[in-house]
Every structure is written in C-alpha cells, then in structure tokens.
Amino acid sequence: MSSARRFVLAATLAFAGQAVMSSVVPQARAQEAAAVLTPADRGWLARIEDQLNTVTTLQARFRQVAPDRAVTNGTVWLSRPGKMRFEYDKPSPLLLVASGGKVVFRDSQLDQTTEIPQERTPLGLLLGSHVAFSGPVTVTGFSHQGGFIHVTVVRTASPGDGSLTLVFREAPLALVSWTVLDAQGRQTEVSLSDIRPGAPAPASLFVLPRGG
C-alpha cells in the first residue's frame, strides 16, 4: 500500500475511535485518563449527544489533511444507523463506503480494495443507532471557547489505540471537523462545509465497492 493511500485510509477511518493500529502502544497513552468534567461540560455533552442523535441523513463537502499535509476534497453522505460514503473529487480514484457492518476502501487506480469491520474503525461513534459519550467511549478532553466545543474521546477498552477530537460549532450546534491522532502520533484532520442535515441519501450510495 502506498504511503499516500495509507494516509487517506487512516483519515477516512477517522469518525469514531480508531482504525487498525499497531499492537505496540506507548505506555503513557495507554494510561490516558478520563477528563474531569464540570456540570456545565456535562450539559454540553448531553446537548451534543441529542444533536447527533437527531441526524438521520446528512450530506456535506469535506476537506481532508493527511499526516504528510496532503490535501484532498470530496463529498460525504451519512445515513444512520450504519451507513456512510466518502466520495473523493476526481481525478482521485478513492472511495470509502460503510454499510452492513463493514468499511470498504476502494482504490480503482491500483485496483485494490480494503475491507475492515466497522466496529474496528472510528465510524462507530457517529453511525451507531445511539450516540453516547460513555460506556465504550471515554471523554479524555473537553474545551469550550471562541464559539467552538472540542471533545476528545478514546475507546474505553483500548485507549492507547488512538484518539478522536470532535469539533462542534456552538450556535447553531453542529459538528464541523474532527482530528484523529493514531497510536504512532500521526494526525489527520477533516473539516466539513456546506452541511445539509436531512439531505436525501438513497440506498444506492451505500452499495459496497468490489474488486481488487
């Protein structure tokens, strides 16, 4: 797999916990502790959960900055529970589709397809039938300033695998970007624009790509 393709795959798996990471986990990160949250912080988290749980379909433009600072753009569709599509602008040959409990990444130029169980990717947080910042997910960081809210989370069972920082605009409350930090310290950023909650998301968008 080329380095550019690895960067894109890591970035598109950035939605809910971590992708498949190295088994060698830095000890300090493996012991990452839960954030100390004030009642106001918990109130914002509850509002964010409610907002995310009201979204059943969504379409938006995305801008992705890989660890090597390479920039790609495209369109993302969401259909909860369980479905998402990242379609990269041409001439990029890349496509990622989540559906049926799988995440499938297709590079038509290399004629290669990568399939990963959805539960092993970051997509679970946003694609589950109910979004919650508890149980399988631990909040390790929270800040609220300048009209934006930053929430950093890890998988409770494997915190050393990596973290996901979600960024929400305060008014109106909406997810606008996220950053993934993987177990090797590589950072990938994704930002959204032209966000359209409730946009049509036909089933044909979420047919899993094949080949390779």
Residues 100-116: tens digit of each pLDDT: 999 899 999 999 999 98
User: Tens digit of pLDDT for each residue in 30-43?
Assistant: 446 899 999 999 99
Residue 28 belongs to domain with CATH number: 2.50.20.10
Domain presence at residue 117 = yes
Domain presence at residue 206 = no
Question: H or E stretch including 51?
Answer: helix 39-54
Domain presence at residue 211 = no
Which domain does 155 fall in, by range? 3-196
pLDDT confidence bin for 124, thresholds 50/70/90: low
Residue 131: predicted pLDDT:
87
3-state SS assignment for residue 160? helix
Please state the domain count of the chain: 1
Of 62, 12, 13, 14, give the one whose Cα is nearest residue 192. 62
Question: Residues of the chain with pLDDT > 70: what percent?
Answer: 81
Residue 189: predicted pLDDT:
92
Domain presence at residue 162 = yes
Q: What is the dihedral of CA 152, 89, 112, 99, to 10 degrees?
A: 60
Domain presence at residue 210 = no
Domain presence at residue 212 = no
Residue 86: predicted pLDDT:
93
3-state SS assignment for residue 5? helix
Residue 26: predicted pLDDT:
38
Domain presence at residue 207 = no
Residue 122: predicted pLDDT:
63
Domain presence at residue 168 = yes
